[in-house]
Amino acid sequence: MTSLALYAPTSTLAMAGDGHRAFWSNSLAATLALALHGAVLALLVYGWAPDTPAAVEPTRTLATQLVMLPPAAPPEVAPAPPAAVLPAPAEPAPVAPVAPQVDPLLQAQKLEHAALARKRVAEQKREQQAQQQRARDAEQQRLAQQREAQQQQAQAEQARAAAERSRQQAAQAQAASASRQYLPLSKEAPDYPQRALDKNLEGDCSVEYTVNPQGRVENPRVLEGCHPLFIRPSLVAAATFRYQPRVIDGQAVAVPAVRNTFHYRIK
């Protein structure tokens, strides 16, 4: 800070022009006010305490001090207020789906179609159950028929077996009765053919004939299944057989269809 004091006698100030009096009067008042304020501020800053001034004889001088002030600082620009932070846009609230309007007539048709579909499914199920039941009944009937056929076959087999046993028993009884009436008296074994021996052949040969009232063999013949080499010796042997004649009501009778089997074995 630079200060300049100017001293002028009172008479000089009085002589100033009227045009400048008002200017200087205002300038002086402003200058004094500024000086006083600056001095007080400096004293306050540096901790000055006022001392009791010594008695000084007042002078009749007017002290003027010119104070050069620093250039005025640029006016402070008020900081711009912070930009208002806009709140983030709130997410839109989820909109609940609006149930579509259902046509009552369409709904009724759907319900009717659903009822018809359930009815068809129930009918199909009943039909399937009926088919399965018919199939089970047919299978049971088939099994019953099969069991019945088996039973009938078994019964037929049993009947045939019983008939065969009865026939055999009757034949045995007849043979026993006939044998009691025309018992063989002599039977000679046939000669073994040499050619069969050479060929190492064995077999059986059955001969059927009639026993006449005298007990001799008539009309002997060989049955099927006899080897050709065994035919002749079988017929020759059968012709030599002798039987006790059958007697019926005291009279000897012929006995037809008498059979004898010759067994040819090499020992």
Q: Rounded CA gap, 145 and 130, in Å? A: 22
**How far apart, in Å, are the Cα atoms of 182 and each of 111, 222, 261?**
103, 22, 18
Q: Are 2 and 68 in contact (CB under 8 A)?
A: yes
Residue 134: what pLDDT?
A: 92
Q: Are 229 and 193 in contact (CB under 8 A)?
A: yes
Residues 6+ apart with CB under 8 A from 235: 207, 220, 221, 222
* Residues 245-255: tens digit of each pLDDT: 888 888 888 89
**First-to-last C-alpha distance (Å) of the chain:** 175
The CATH number assigned to the domain holding 218 equals: 3.30.2420.10
In a shared domain, residues 43 and 13: yes
| 25, part of any domain | yes
Least confident of 1-15, 19-33, 139-153, 201-215: 1-15
Per-residue b or e along 180-209, where b marks 16 or more CB atoms closer than 10 Å to that residue's CB: ebbeeeeeeebebbeebeeeeeeeebbbeb
Full residue range of the structural domain in which residue 235 is found: 184-264
**Better-predicted residue by pLDDT, 8 or 50:** 50
Three-state SS for 186?
strand
Q: Give the pLDDT mean for 94-109.
A: 72
| 193, part of any domain | yes
Answer positive or negative: Cα dihedral of 156, 159, 163, 165.
positive
| 89, part of any domain | no
| 117, part of any domain | no
Q: Give the pLDDT mean for 183-201.
A: 89
On whether the pTM is more than 0.75, the answer is no
Residue 14: what pLDDT?
A: 41
Q: Give the pLDDT mean for 34-51.
A: 71
Residue 19: what pLDDT?
A: 55
Q: Rounded CA gap, 78 and 198, in Å? A: 156
Q: Identify the band that residue 20 occupies on the pLDDT scale cut at 50, 70 and 90.
A: low
Q: Which of 140, 121, 144 is nearest to 132 (CA)?
A: 140
| 195, part of any domain | yes
Least confident of 181-185, 198-202, 211-215, 232-236: 181-185
Please report which helix (H) or strand (E) contains residue 137, including its range: helix 104-181
In a shared domain, residues 176 and 204: no
Instruction: Examine the pLDDT at 28 and tell me if it is beyond 50.
Output: yes
Q: Which of 106, 103, 108, 38 is nearest to 67 (CA)?
A: 38
Instruction: Examine the pLDDT at 10 and tell me if it is beyond 60.
Output: no
Please report which helix (H) or strand (E) contains residue 234, including its range: helix 228-239
Residue 126: what pLDDT?
A: 92
Instruction: Examine the pLDDT at 23 and tell me if it is beyond 80.
Output: no
